[in-house]
Structure 1
Amino acid sequence: MSDSAGRLAYGDLQLDRTGQAEAFDVIGDRYDEAFPHKEGQLAATEWLVDSLDAGSRALDLGCGTGLPTAHRLAGSGMDVVGVDLSAGMIELARAHVPDGTFHQADVADLRPGGALDLGRFDAVVAFFVLLMLPRAEIPLALRTVHDLLTPGGLLALSMVEADVDDFEIPFLGRHIRVSGYLREDLRQVVESAGFEVVDESSYTYAPASTDVQPEEHIFLRCRRLG
């Protein structure tokens, strides 16, 4: 049912993850081979490293193989927790980042009262994970992230700029469903969830050896308000 502010809540949605995790289970470490250039991701991660002290808690939401983000954060001395829906990706992340803690879970599991209570974090990273959700759920996921962060906590997120909602695309020999926004719409959704956007950058990216067309990647560096 809707929350006290009359906004859509998880109880209003019929969550459908059919095929999403299974695609990444099959893709495995071919993901890093197909996407070797991660300049935007690395730059946003360095922003967190430069902004936070060693020992800070960081959540890598949609951690994938753990490379490069969780690996870099853990190497800087942060207490890193990773979450991914794909069991195969979690297995790879545990191998790549032995100092991290990784859970196979859904973003919906992290909401207040959800199946997995991870406590609070000084930073959350959400690189290309929100695009795996239908648009109706993305504001809920962002509010979940807001709840997971300490006051003033940092969020680094990225999305592909595209005006699509739960749209099926071919991806490394499988099919996945993705959503996206035009950049001004993305900023509005993020700000409406209680974040200040402190920086924005974008990169035109053509994946290596995949059937995905060149795309625009938007990176937002944000701070929790309230």
Structure 2
Amino acid sequence: MSSNVFGKRDDGGPPRDRTGQAEAFDAIGDRYDEAFPHKEGQISATEWLVASLPAGSRVLDLGCGTGVPTARRLAQAGFEVVGVDLSAGMVARARAQVPGARFHQADIADLGPGGPCDLGRFDAVAAFFSLLMLPRAEIPTALRTVRRLLRAGGLFTLSMVEADVDDVAIPFLGRRIRVSGYPRAALRQVVEEAGFDVVEETSHGYAPGGADVPPEEHLFLRCRRGN
């Protein structure tokens, strides 16, 4: 399945064109993993899923990128892994690197049950640095979509860059992308309001390898789908 990368709008306006975001990551390709070689926070959050879920669980890697390290580790743990990314180039790399998982090019707006790209329900969802690609106005809807994708009691782990910004264009590995972020208390609030119980919160300072990417503070939340 694939998407035309036009996301739905909460305000009823015309669909938001995400073509530029997808094309940027198509062009970035393998340089993403080169610029972000150390992913301790992401690896730790993935290991939480591995330790918490029984073998055979169905897990969605939302914004899977190249498939490394998250989708690969989840597949190695014996899970049924489905990955989704807006970038066709990233999906192609993920398929090559993690042949034991299934990958789709799609927009999160299309993933809800009964939507254009209905992938079914999951025992867990991981969204590492994918929701920050959305304007703030769309993030609560995206989180509610994740909640609908999860079975009762399902797990959700996500990460964002801590920053008080909304849909701001920044240089990124020779391209320009648009990103959003929250201060940590605000991020926790928006996640809880979407129907998740936060089990644990951690943060990690990070200095990417790319010359045009400044040091960042990465926030990680480990959550459970609320009743």
Same fold (TM over 0.5): yes
1: CA distance between counterparts of 2:154 and 2:95? 25
Q: CA RMSD of the aligned region, Å?
A: 1.3
Task: Tell me, in whole angstroms, the C-alpha distance in 2 between the residues paired with 1:160 and 1:209.
Answer: 16
CA deviations 1:47-90 (Å, max 9, x no partner) are 00000011000000000000000000000000000000000000
Secondary structure, counterpart of 2:17 in structure 1 = coil
Partner of residue 4, structure 2: none
What is the deviation of 1:185? Answer: 0.3
TM-superposed CA distance for 1:11, in Å, is 6.3
Aligned to 1:12: 12
Equivalent in the alignment of 1:152: 153
Do residues 22 (structure 1) and 23 (structure 2) align? yes
2:81 pairs with 1:114: no
Distance of 2:11 and 2:60 partners within structure 1: 24
Q: Which residue of 1 aligns with 2:204?
A: 203
* Structure 1 equivalent of residue 171 of structure 2: 170
Question: Which is worse superposed, 112-121 or 67-76?
Answer: 112-121
Q: In 1, distance between residues paired with 2:55 and 2:11?
A: 38
CA contact (8 A) 1:163 1:182 kept: yes
TM-score (norm 2): 0.94
Query: Which residue of structure 1 aligns with residue 135 of structure 2?
Result: 134
Structure-2 residue corresponding to 1:5: none
Structure 1 runs not aligned, ≥5 long: 1-7
Runs of 4 or more consecutive aligned structure 1 residues displaced over 6 Å after TM superposition: none
Alignment of 1:72-87 (within 5 A): 72-87=73-88
- What's the TM-score, normalizing by structure 1? 0.94
Residue 67 of structure 1 is matched in structure 2 by: 68
> In structure 1, how many angstroms separate the alpha carbons of the residues matched to 2:186 and 2:200?
15
Other structure's SS at 2:166 match: coil
Question: Structure 2: where are the runs of 5+ without partners?
Answer: 1-7
Q: Please state whether the residue corresponding to 1:98 is helix, strand or coil.
A: coil
* CA deviation profile, 1:122-146 (whole Å, cap 9, x unmatched): 0000000000000000000000000
- Aligned residue pairs, count: 219
Question: Are the aligned partners of 2:9 and 2:16 in contact in 1 as well (CA < 8 Å)?
Answer: no
